[in-house]
Amino acid sequence: MNFHNCWLKKRSFPYPSTVREAAEAELSNLGVPFKIYINGNGDGFTISKNGNEYQISGGETGALYAAFRLGVLLNNKTDFTQINEAPSYENRIINHWDNFNGNIERGYSGKSLFFDDNEIDYDENRMRHYARMLASVGLNAVAINNVNVSLPAVKLITGEKLPRLAKLAEIFKPYGVRLILSINYASPVMLGELDTADPCDPRVADWWKKRFDIIYSYIPNLLGVLVKADSENQPGPFSYGRDHADGANLFAKALAPHGGYVFWRCFVYNCKQNWRDTKTDRPKFPYDNFMPLDGRFDENVVLQIKNGPYDFQIREPVSPLLGAMKQTTQAVEFQIAQEYTGQQIDLCFLPTLWREVLDTGFKVKHIAAVTNTGNDFNWTGNYLAAANLYGYGRLAWDSSLSPESIAAEWCGLMFEDADARAAVKKMLLDSREIYENYTTPLGMGWFVTPHTHYGPDPLGYEFSLWGTYHRADREAVGIDRSSRGTGYTRQYPPEVAAVYDNIDTCPEELLLFFHRVAYNHVLKNGKTLIQYLYDSHFKGAEGAERLLKAWEALEGRVPGEIYKNVLERLHKQVKNAYEWRDVFNTFFYRLTGESDGLGRLIYK
């Protein structure tokens, strides 16, 4: 199949057999004189310019990353004499939520790159390009299957499937990319080999030890496994009266002889909540479940924590668990796939959001994100959604980068025309705020259509089991999560909790996450809450129209294929924004009876 290569110029292979060969090939491809000095085996590198010649030094993977970096610098005509770089995170991971039947959970760019019809099925040539594309932004690990592992995907770790996986690992290897497998906590039971998955039962420990011996005999450089346990109906240690340290350490011990990690997800909460119960508060679960276990995890356990305490909403506070466990290794988990942020139809440049999360200053060793790639010819469905994958890779490499510089760099690689570069950069940088404005501003969250998570449905999750409520009534909206309310704020250090606790000091963009606020409450701009909500939705819908206009002005300045692809989606985005504006405003108008202060149309 033919495909477009996002930001990366395609090249034909003799496929490299080592990382060093890959680095040399990429450098030769640039058409400039160069020398490589390999020292050690780290990911960092130095590029020095000596006359016309570029001197690269670093480990093998370092040289590879240097080659790609130099490509970008030359393309964007950046002037420099020496550049030193080393990655901010040791493992820079993407997670595919690909099912064995070829569907992708929360996937918006076609079918799986790895599975079809309950078999491992990949296009080897495309996999080579994928490895190269990931390495070009410094990504070095890929979990290929969904964290929800059901039969037959449970069989991925059996001798029947491992040879094909081993071949994939080999393809990824020259680009420094390592595999991770998502596994079902209760595999020994699911595969019919044991009648228990109790982490403290020696038979279970022994089963996993032998299983990993087999897995590593096929894939010696497997980075490790990813486990979603006791989460959204997946099995886990709770079923055996054990906790998550028992569960994670079971795998850690079996992986240790092979140098593997267990990435253990902290997305653990009660998904059978009763909406009548206003005491239970879903965002409190990750911290409550894991914080008391600090100090009990083996060294090769990595707790993988979603960036917010809820679930990839357009705005949430940073998870209080991140950086709080002083004796536990952690990874932050982002979502590049736009599940709640426009599904690769609406434009929403996520590095803006991730920047804010990273700016809160927590320190973690690894970084992971749910990817937005699938087998669409351009990998991400919407051409502009590739900027999110690129941006994730860049931030995973250098967590100090600004959204502006990432957007500029990506546009420089994607478009020749200077006006197009500037215009798309602006579109990207404006897009998150626009999306937030016409969906759920002020940290309100949810309000989406159940299951699909695209488009508004005011009461869709209001009386559900999922713990996802805004609790709007005639007087007020939002949830009091202060220490006087659900007590969620107590999970932060006292000085942070104090800021969130007080409605006057709480950052306004998170107001409805932390507080239950009356519609006549006056905000910083002097407007009442209800007026702010209306304004935000009118403004957001206008913003979507502006994105469309900005793009229309680029006809003829960007390749026709890209123009058409994005145009189609922007039209849908405008429609979606109108729907959100009208449904949202009408819902609150009907509740409050408050008209818009500016007399704009709100449907009755």
Restricted to residues 530-559, the positions that interact with ligand GCW (CB under 6 A) are: none
Contact 174, 212 (CB under 8 A): no
Least spacing, CB of residue 265 vs ligand GCW, in Å: 7
Restricted to residues 325-384, the positions that interact with ligand GCW (CB under 6 A) are: 339
Is residue 299 part of the annotated active site? The answer reads no
CA nearest to 398, candidates 338, 445, 343, 354: 354
Restricted to residues 75-134, the positions that interact with ligand GCW (CB under 6 A) are: 97, 105-106
Which tokens in the block code for residue 453?
A: 């998570």
Rounded Cα–Cα distance for residues 156 and 117 (Å): 14
Nearer to ligand GCW, 276 or 451 (CB): 451
Least spacing, CB of residue 309 vs ligand GCW, in Å: 13
Of 141-149, 200-208, 243-251, 274-282, the segment contacting ligand GCW by CB under 6 A is: 141-149
Catalytic residue selected from 119, 193, 195, 232:
232
Nearer to ligand GCW, 335 or 431 (CB): 335
Least spacing, CB of residue 187 vs ligand GCW, in Å: 18
Q: Tell me if 464 contacts ligand GCW by CB under 6 A.
A: no
Nearer to ligand GCW, 97 or 587 (CB): 97
CA nearest to 268, candidates 251, 252, 248: 248
Catalytic residue selected from 98, 311, 333, 346:
311
Helix (H) or strand (E) holding 38: strand 34-38
Least spacing, CB of residue 393 vs ligand GCW, in Å: 20
Nearer to ligand GCW, 100 or 267 (CB): 267
Nearer to ligand GCW, 454 or 532 (CB): 454
Tell me 14's DSSP state.
P
Rounded Cα–Cα distance for residues 283 and 409 (Å): 36
Contact 252, 289 (CB under 8 A): no
Give residue for tokens 């300045």. Answer: 557
Q: Tell me if 267 contacts ligand GCW by CB under 6 A.
A: yes
Least spacing, CB of residue 333 vs ligand GCW, in Å: 8
Residues with Cβ within 8 Å of 366's Cβ and at least 6 positions away in sequence, in order, are 89, 90, 91, 92, 93, 263, 302, 304, 329, 330, 331
Sheet containing 34-38: order of strands: 34-38, 53-58, 45-50, 82-85
* CB burial string 165-198: b at 16+ within 10 A, e below: bbbbbebbbbbbbbbbbbbbbbbbbbbeebeebb
Of 144-152, 414-422, 480-488, 540-548, the segment contacting ligand GCW by CB under 6 A is: 144-152
Is residue 119 part of the annotated active site? The answer reads no
Burial zone of 592 (CB within 10 Å; 0-12 exposed, 13-18 middle, 19+ buried): buried
Residues with Cβ within 8 Å of 340's Cβ and at least 6 positions away in sequence, in order, are 311, 312, 313, 314, 448, 453
Q: Tell me if 311 contacts ligand GCW by CB under 6 A.
A: yes
Contact 224, 180 (CB under 8 A): yes
Nearer to ligand GCW, 146 or 380 (CB): 146
Nearer to ligand GCW, 319 or 585 (CB): 319
The beta strand positions in 365-492, using DSSP E, are 366-370, 476-477
Q: Tell me if 148 contacts ligand GCW by CB under 6 A.
A: yes
Of 71-79, 110-118, 142-150, 242-250, the segment contacting ligand GCW by CB under 6 A is: 142-150
Catalytic residue selected from 26, 60, 198, 339:
339
Give residue for tokens 């994958």. Answer: 389
Restricted to residues 186-245, the positions that interact with ligand GCW (CB under 6 A) are: 228, 232
Contact 277, 239 (CB under 8 A): no
Of 145-153, 161-169, 525-533, 562-570, the segment contacting ligand GCW by CB under 6 A is: 145-153
Number of residues that bind ligand GCW (CB under 6 A): 12
Q: Tell me if 316 contacts ligand GCW by CB under 6 A.
A: no
Positive or negative torsion for Cα 129, 127, 410, 88: negative
Least spacing, CB of residue 234 vs ligand GCW, in Å: 8
Nearer to ligand GCW, 311 or 346 (CB): 311
Is residue 535 part of the annotated active site? The answer reads no
Restricted to residues 42-61, the positions that interact with ligand GCW (CB under 6 A) are: none
Tell me 528's DSSP state.
B
Least spacing, CB of residue 308 vs ligand GCW, in Å: 11
Rule CB under 6 A: which residues touch ligand GCW? 97, 105-106, 146-148, 228, 232, 267, 311-312, 339
Active site residues: 232, 311, 339
